[in-house]
Amino acid sequence: MTTMYAALLRGINVGGGRKVPMADLRALLTSLGHDAVRTHLQSGQAVFASDHGDEESLAAELATAVEGRFGFPVDVLVRDHAYLKGIVEACPFPAAELEARQLHVTYFSAPVDAERFAAIDAPAFRPEEFRLGDRALYLYAPDGLGRSKLAEALARPRVTKGLIATSRNWNTVAKLVELTRP
């Protein structure tokens, strides 16, 4: 059975380094045998249809192919439509009432528990807030991610150690649900 997936590539096409042209990424995914390949924006989102592999093996395959083609390692997460839709549906913040720049989702490569975040004094960062989800973290940052002090604390190595973590704003989160709809 063919499933629609989104590939999330971490840290490409930002700050002038680690360039991956989206046309080349589409061609690479097609060469790996995937269908209905599309990209969204320039910041490392691609959607594709595949009937082979699971999320983890598809991510590993793409990470290996990207490094082989572009010469640098890239962390990749792959998620299917059902997962992405579930992330939107489970959002603990009133997404419809917020600007997209105020709400972000960090996707993780594995489940996370509250213990990872125990050293963060969340009340000290108010009005910013975070909540954990299914292999994800929701971040409400009223002044945007670029000005968020909580985002800095959440990205510390002791919090993310051993995980792939990549963040997207709410517009991108919602768009990936739409683009992966079967």
Residue 31 belongs to what domain range? 3-82
Same domain, 110 and 144: yes
List the CATH number of the domain containing 16: 3.30.70.1280
* Lowest mean pLDDT across 10-14, 53-57, 93-97, 148-152: 10-14
Picking from 91, 177, 96, the residue whose alpha carbon sits closest to that of residue 134 is 91
Alpha helices in the chain (DSSP H): 22-31, 55-70, 81-89, 149-154, 157-160, 170-179
144 part of a folded domain: yes
175 part of a folded domain: no
pLDDT digits (tens, 9 = 90+) for 12-65: 877 767 888 899 999 999 999 999 999 988 778 899 999 987 999 999 999 999
* pTM confidence score: 0.93
Same domain, 23 and 71: yes
Whole-number percent of the chain with pLDDT over 90 = 80
